[in-house]
């Protein structure tokens, strides 16, 4: 039962992808924020193609538009203009409900501040996004939660609460939450920003591992060494992509 559902979910995407292997296509994306009398041009004519299985980093100075770009990619918000195609579907002009339905299926988010819910256990935190899915019953969700927690080596803490865990452990739980439904793309916004270097290494190694297993990952970071662990590095400045190059450091060596 469980594997049928999982297979169906991924098959939808794979069919669309088979033609091109392109997962994400942004065309002339602009994002303007209007606040009282100020107009902020956060993104200016972003063109970006992400292929299935790529691991890319986005870096650039504070305020350059990295998080805005990630939130558009993650369908948390719509662009002001331009076209966004995700797995062959035009998702440029969806309303909030349509965006969250697709987000729930296709996107896994990892945030700098972990964003776990403090009065839910580790297992309940990982399960939460799955409960918004009508296609998984409780039994299937339990299997998915266990599988994801096992992958990040946190199954032994399934009944703990976030406050009982170190920052590194909390972020590993957040990674489990992001991957439990096998999303098409994992979006990480400064995933090691709140961690000491040892725990940062553990989380980075986990992302490397997910990438090697075929996940598509897009990670915002201001740390050049983290950026270089991705196979492709994108630099943003003033809302524009100013560099897009392959990393000198293959992921496998950086582990």
Element at 216 (helix H, strand E)? none
Provide the minimum distance between the beta carbon of 122 and Mg ion in the complex, in angstroms, as a whole number. Answer: 26
Contact flag: residue 67 with Mg ion (CB under 5 A)? yes
35, interface contact from Mg ion, ligand ADP, none, CB < 5-8 Å by kind: ligand ADP
Q: Which of 216, 248, 221 has its CA nearest to residue 235?
A: 221
Provide the minimum distance between the beta carbon of 190 and ligand ADP in the complex, in angstroms, as a whole number. Answer: 8
The first and second tokens of residue 49, run together, are 């193609």
Helix (H, G, I), strand (E, B) or coil at 183: coil
Contact flag: residue 216 with Mg ion (CB under 5 A)? no
What phi, psi does 38 have (nearest 5°)?
Answer: -105, 140
Q: Which stretch binds Mg ion (CB under 5 A): 67-75, 110-118, 128-136, 141-149?
A: 67-75
Q: How far is it, in rounded angstroms, from Cα 7 to Cα 88?
A: 18
Provide the minimum distance between the beta carbon of 74 and ligand ADP in the complex, in angstroms, as a whole number. Answer: 12
Q: Which stretch binds ligand ADP (CB under 6 A): 1-9, 55-63, 105-113, 163-171?
A: 55-63
Contact flag: residue 188 with ligand ADP (CB under 6 A)? no
Measure the CA dihedral 22/249/243/187, to 10°.
50
Interface ranges with Mg ion (CB under 5 A): 66-67
């Amino acid at each position: 039962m469980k594997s049928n559902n999982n297979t169906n979910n991924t098959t939808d995407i794979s069919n669309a992808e088979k033609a091109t292997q392109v997962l994400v296509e942004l065309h002339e994306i602009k994002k303007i924020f209007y606040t009282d009398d100020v107009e902020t041009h956060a993104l200016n004519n972003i063109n970006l193609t992400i292929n299935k299985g790529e691991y890319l980093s986005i870096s650039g100075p504070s305020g350059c538009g990295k998080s805005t770009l990630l939130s558009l990619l993650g369908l948390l918000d719509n662009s002001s203009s331009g076209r966004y195609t995700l797995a062959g579907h035009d998702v440029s002009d969806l309303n909030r409900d349509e965006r969250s339905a697709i987000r729930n299926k296709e996107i896994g988010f990892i945030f700098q501040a972990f964003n776990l819910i403090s009065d839910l256990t580790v297992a309940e935190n990982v399960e939460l996004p799955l409960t918004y899915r009508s296609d998984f019953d409780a039994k299937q969700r339990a299997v998915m939660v266990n599988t994801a927690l096992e992958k990040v080596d946190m199954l032994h803490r399934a009944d703990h609460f976030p406050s009982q865990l170190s920052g590194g452990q909390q972020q590993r739980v957040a990674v489990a939450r992001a991957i439990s439904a096998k999303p098409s793309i994992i979006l990480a916004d400064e995933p090691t920003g709140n961690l000491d270097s040892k725990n940062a290494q553990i989380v980075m190694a986990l992302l490397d591992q997910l990438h090697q297993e075929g996940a598509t990952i897009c990670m915002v970071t201001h740390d050049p060494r983290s950026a270089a662990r991705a196979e492709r590095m994108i630099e943003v400045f003033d809302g524009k992509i100013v560099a897009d190059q392959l990393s000198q450091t293959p992921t496998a060596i950086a582990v």
